[in-house]
Structure 1
Amino acid sequence: MTAVGFLYPGHSAEDDYERIEQMLASDIRLPVVHTDIGEDAHRVDALLTMGEDDRLAAGVEELRLAGAEAVVWACTSGSFVYGWDGAHEQIRNLARAAGMPASSTSFAFAHAIQHLGATRVAVAATYPEDVADYFADFLKSAGTEVTATRGSGIITAAEVGTWGRDEVLELALAGDHPSAEILLLPDTALHTAAYLAELEQVLGKPVLTANQVSVWEALRLAERRVWGDRMGKLFARPT
């Protein structure tokens, strides 16, 4: 049994982790601990506050008690908004506080893109345009070409958490770009686990979503590989 843990801000789409655990149907557990979200706003100042070290450190003891072998700060915007160097410092501090390997959803995207061998991506974000641009800049720092960035102007994670299949598909189709090898949906407040296979079928390319890559990254840190037929190209068994 392998347990990997997630620090998740507030309550929006955290049930994706339970769904992913069921979809992978393996000897893994994905415990989630909720962090203090502060102000629910996709706004730079609020996101910087949301990702402060003490807010993250407050949840690590519960994850240790759950037997977690690695931890991921499951908030994309609350990590990339710090920039490449600041996001590295954030996870270094988290690793020290937790006493285990640590990462964030932003780095999960960067590592997953590299794992799939891609260099060009499109970003379809729920965020306002200025916040989406921070993510594009983060990816560029990781050596990834961002061919298109689309923001949706949604301010709160609570609103994003109400989106269902139709809204997710519409976002993906609107944000894709013909030259992109992969489409990214970066918000952990967005329910996507149930739609991964359909998204890739409709778009005809790999799709990486925030909660999906967070799980993959945590398992990578724990040196576990798990395959899932309904979890997209990222979790596909090698052929």
Structure 2
Amino acid sequence: MTALGFLYPGHAAEDDYPRAEQLLGSDIRVDLVHTDIGEDAHRVDALLAMGDADRLAAGVGELRRAGVDAVVWACTSGSFVRGWEGAQEQVRALARTAGTPASSTSFAFVHAAREIGARRVAVGATYPDDVAALFADFLAAGSVTVTGVTSSGIITAAEVGTWGEAELFALARAADHPDARAVLLPDTALHTLAHLPALEKELGKPVLTANQVTVWEALRLADRRVNAPSLGALFTREPIVQV
């Protein structure tokens, strides 16, 4: 049994995680602990506070008691807003507290893009423009080129959590770019796991979404590879190398 631990801020699209557990198979367990979101706002000061070390540490004890093999901070904006070095320090502190390998959704996007050979990507962000631009900067620091960023300007995770299939597909289509080898949708408040194969069929290329790459990152840290095509091209047995 491989046990994956996630720290998820507040409540929005956390039901993507039990869905992932069902799709991954009987020897994968997903343990999710909610962290205090503080002020629900896609604003730099609020996002910095959301990912504060004390807030994250408060949820780690439960995951340690559950005996998880890896811990991922399941929040994109609450990590990339700190920049590359700040986000690294955030996960180093998390690993020390958890006593396991640790990462965050922001790093998961960089690692997942490399896994599928997508060095040029398009971004469809629910965030305001300034926050979305910080995500593009973070990807660039990880040697992933952004062909363009589409922003929806939504302030709260609660609102993003109400989005359905129509809004999700509209964002992905608007973000796509002919030069992009993949489309990235970076918000763990966005429900995506039920729609990945359809999204990839619609766009004709891999789609990487926040909750998808977060689960994949935890498996990577636990040294597990799972073939689960229902979770998109990222979860096929062999990496997709695109040129």
Question: Counterparts of 1:164 and 1:215 in 2: how far apart (Å)?
Answer: 21
Tell me the equivalent position of 2:113. 113
SS at the partner of 1:100? coil
The number of residues matched between the two structures is 239
1:65 Cα deviation from its structure 2 partner:
1.4
SS at the partner of 2:208? strand
| TM-score (structure 1 length as normaliser) | 0.99
| Residue 179 (structure 1) aligned with residue 179 (structure 2) | yes
Tell me the equivalent position of 2:215. 215
Contact in 1 for aligned 2:125/2:151 (Cα 8 Å): yes
Question: Counterparts of 2:21 and 2:146 in 1: how far apart (Å)?
Answer: 30
SS at the partner of 2:140? helix
Question: Counterparts of 1:40 and 1:119 in 2: how far apart (Å)?
Answer: 32
1:66-81 equivalence runs, <5 A:
66-81=66-81
Tell me the equivalent position of 1:137. 137
Per-residue CA distance 1:82-128 (angstroms, 9 max, x = gap):
00000000000110111110000000000001111121000000000
Give RMSD over aligned pairs: 0.9
Contact in 2 for aligned 1:26/1:226 (Cα 8 Å): no
Contact in 2 for aligned 1:23/1:230 (Cα 8 Å): yes
| Structure 1 segments (4+ residues) deviating >2 Å | none
Q: Which residue type is aligned with residue 107 of structure 1?
A: F
SS at the partner of 1:170? helix
State percent identity of aligned pairs. Answer: 70
Question: Counterparts of 2:76 and 2:93 in 1: how far apart (Å)?
Answer: 17
Contact in 2 for aligned 1:71/1:218 (Cα 8 Å): yes
SS at the partner of 1:58? helix
1:66 Cα deviation from its structure 2 partner:
1.5
| TM-score (structure 2 length as normaliser) | 0.97
Contact in 2 for aligned 1:79/1:104 (Cα 8 Å): yes
Question: Counterparts of 1:26 and 1:227 in 2: how far apart (Å)?
Answer: 13
